Structure 1
Amino acid sequence: MRSSRRCPLLVPVLVCAAAVLLARPTAAEGGSGGGEADSGVSTKVMRLYEEATVATRRYEVGHREAEKQRAKARRSEQLLAREQKHIAALHEDLGRIVRAQYRQGGGIPYAAQVILANTPEELMRSQHVFSQADLAVETAVAKSRRAEAWLAAEQARAAALWRDLEKRNGELAGMKRVIQAKLDEARRVLQSQADASAAAGTCRSPVRLDGVHAKITRKWVTPVEGYRLSAGFGSGGARWANRHTGQDFAVPIGTVVRAAGAGKVVKVTCGGAFGMEIVIEHPGGYCTQYAHLAAVMVGQGDRVAAGQWIAQSGTTGNSTGPHLHFEVRATPELGSSVDPVPWLTARGVKL
């Protein structure tokens, strides 16, 4: 599978904020303990994801607004330059009228013009023509001057607002960098805990959070959001004994992993090539596997709904970088996998 769907890397499940604020770890269920500590790190990662998303949205909104104001300032500047050129042309017209008046007697004293005129009508007509021309040009010049003043004020206002927005965006960018640094550190701690569990081959207690899935009416969903498809089913590689047995979704450490469909958790393990993994059996006999995880939110025997949060992605086991390895199997065991992409497509999920 070579095609990909690209989304911003910092796009968590939109209900994350409400879920995290209400999140409360419950008592550890099975495993080797450490559930409370894991819950704190997992919750922190999800909270920081939401903060990063909010900061990114605010920055993007501010950036778009700044671009609008900058474009407005540029348009006003262009219109101002055009108006100034128009005023210069009007002044040139006025100069031509004055020169024409002089050449046609406009510079001769009025008493001489009266003596030299053939008839009174000719004198009045010449005076009226030049007066009308003078008035028309002077009116146009005054109108253009008013337009020039308005455009200059508009250009100044737009430029000032643009500078204010740019300053605010700089502050938002700094906030984003701080949040991202905290998120990177929280991911590191989460992955470190996961590596320790995978090395020991013993899963820690599930991270139990209240309200950990949105209300989804669809029967099947993608296992993660905001992903990039990487290694596909059947592809070759030095890290696999034969061929790749699933579809990889490239996502950052700590990304929420969802149950692709309703079913029962039949396997939760934390060692071997898949690192930390979950297998869910669905009605009809098919199973889905979620591997290379950093934390699990369900235990063996749990019933899950489509779209329910079951884990956080990581890079445990035989993994070269953060991603979710997703398989569809005819049985819960390795060796019965089918291509997940057409399988999901047949169920209304397009990757």
Structure 2
Amino acid sequence: MIRWKGSWSWILVWSCSLLMGGLILCVGYIEALSNVSKKSGPELMKQKAQPVVAQGISPNQQSPATGLNVESKTQELAGTTKSPPESIADFPSPVHGKVLRGIGNYYSETLESYIFHSGQDYSEPEGTIIRATHRGKVVYAGTDSLLGQKVVLDCGHGWVVTYGGLDNLRVKVGETVEKQAALGQVGFFPGGEGVNHQSQLHYEVWHDNKVQIVGTSEGAI
């Protein structure tokens, strides 16, 4: 009986020691978590309050290369590409070929009568890519009995531009094309407007229903 009493006493002593040790560890772990949350809370709030700057440049920051405001420069470029036309000077010739026929009346052997030629015909090799001289909306893109295939752009403020003698059109009605956008290629169409049966570009500009003389600062017929 004495031997059993001694064994039970040691068991109770060890059990109490283990229980106290466990309690001490739990209390220490809870205090550590509390301290971490108190420190990280304000730091997270500071991080959320800081603004995020995309691509490392603030919208109002100046460019080190030019010294110009980045946002202002972007708006300036957008205004340049979408600004409405003001005069015939905004519609230069799209090519540098020889002028085969200018604006005026001429006798058409095909129609056997005099007709008014409202544009300028430029000698250009077949396949030459023709690009828009000004931004505009496509109001016509298809076949013409005298010009072969043509594209007509409404550039706004009463300005309308026609590109004739084309082939392989790259635009459709309803599209808005930017300046220098490809419209098509010069084709070979020996129709009523043809000269010497060679490939050529027909280019005409109208403003408020008056044909304009390309290559001048002012003037209309």
Higher RCO, 1 vs 2 (CA within 8 Å, ≥6 residues apart): 1
Structure number, greater radius of gyration: 2
Normalised to the residue count of structure 1, the TM-score between the two structures is: 0.32
Greater helix proportion: 1
Greater strand proportion: 2
